[in-house]
Amino acid sequence: MHDTQSNVLITTQAELERRLTLTDDELAFDYQTTHILPMRIPSYFLDLIDANDPHDPIRRQVVPTSAELVYDALEDLDPLAEVSHSVTDRLIHRYKSRVAFLTTDICPIHCRHCFRRRFTGTFQGPATDEETEKAASYVAEHPEVKEILFTGGDVFTLSDAHLRRMIAAFRSKRSDLIIRLCSRMPASYPMRITSSLIAMLGEFPTAPFYLMTQFNHPRELTTQAIEAVRLFVDAGIPAMNQTVLLRGVNDEADVLETLCNQLVFNRIKPYYLFQGDLVSGTSHFRVPLKKGLALEQELRRRLSGLAMPLYAIDLPEGGGKVPLNQGYLAEQSGCGVWTFRTAEGEVRSYPDPEN
């Protein structure tokens, strides 16, 4: 991983035990396994954990437990059918107007809820120049593609020079291509985000970049994390956040309300609140839909439209994203009048135009 200053990566049980007293469930995880997402925690992120709280929400996201060894029959390592929608080795075309490019399988942090654990941490490394060129050629031949997600893995584990070559490969063929930079780095190791990185992105002044972050808990919005995002926003790159709804981490209205308001205050738009995907070994993170819908309803009462994320689910078998809400349209009368339920539960009517 490209580094700018000392950062210890905790990858073994022995290293973890020097910093935390592990619970029975944490000790029962098979740290030697080769077929389950290996542990990877930056020391920066580990320091956010309250070591005296075995249920700490930061800890729960990164310290593996034996629950990951339990597979639900409906789970899959590729629940979104990305493999079947892959058009090159690294390019996924699941939606008509946008594609996802797997820049690398390397991440600064291995979140235990990772939906792409079939790929993340599999030691394939960054996309080669040949793989990048092949993907860029595909996009050049498909003008219906308007946006590309640089994802993985984490795009900012690449060096500035490698990322420059990657961007140039796509922009040389499609100067109009919007690039989403999808990264957990501002939350997991914000020191990677430097003025030189931002200056490099400024060398490509055609179609815009968007920074897509993942902050799941208010305590991740540290001074360093906020500064990392500020560098992007001050350079004209909007920041949008995608939170994953996680049991025992952020499945309380007070936590989500605080997170969303703090994001907006720091110029990060709460974009999505995702229902957990059906990824093998992650059932202990998934929040029941009934509770998720109740949280969405409560947040809609508490938050402004600017601070309100879209609660959504990415349907299995490549079904795509659909919004989740209780629904506010109650019924339509026979005389062109629609009846709605307000966020507070009251009833209002809206007459349709005659034509």
CB atoms under 10 Å from CB of 72, counted, come to: 14
Catalytic site includes residue 98: yes
Contact 126, 106 (CB under 8 A): yes
The catalytic position among 114, 117, 154, 180 is: 114
Cα–Cα distances (Å) from 51 to 48, 111, 152, 224, in that order, read 9, 18, 30, 21
Catalytic site includes residue 134: no
Of 172, 257, 244, 2, nearest to 104 by C-alpha is 2
Contact 274, 313 (CB under 8 A): yes
Catalytic site includes residue 114: yes
The catalytic position among 95, 160, 219, 267 is: 95
The catalytic position among 56, 111, 117, 251 is: 111
Catalytic site includes residue 182: no
Q: Enter the tokens of residue 27.
A: 């000790």
The catalytic position among 40, 59, 90, 94 is: 94
Contact 119, 153 (CB under 8 A): yes
The catalytic position among 60, 78, 105, 107 is: 107
Catalytic site includes residue 321: yes
Angle at 207 between CA 227 and CA 232, to 5 degrees: 0
The catalytic position among 230, 247, 269, 321 is: 321
CA–CA separation, 65 vs 122, rounded Å? Answer: 20
The catalytic position among 56, 78, 251, 277 is: 277
3-class state of residue 42 by DSSP: strand
Catalytic site includes residue 271: no
Task: Spell out the alpha helix ranges (H) of 114-181.
Answer: 129-140, 160-171
The catalytic position among 40, 116, 117, 286 is: 116
Q: Which residues are catalytic?
A: 94-95, 98, 107, 111, 114, 116, 277, 314, 321
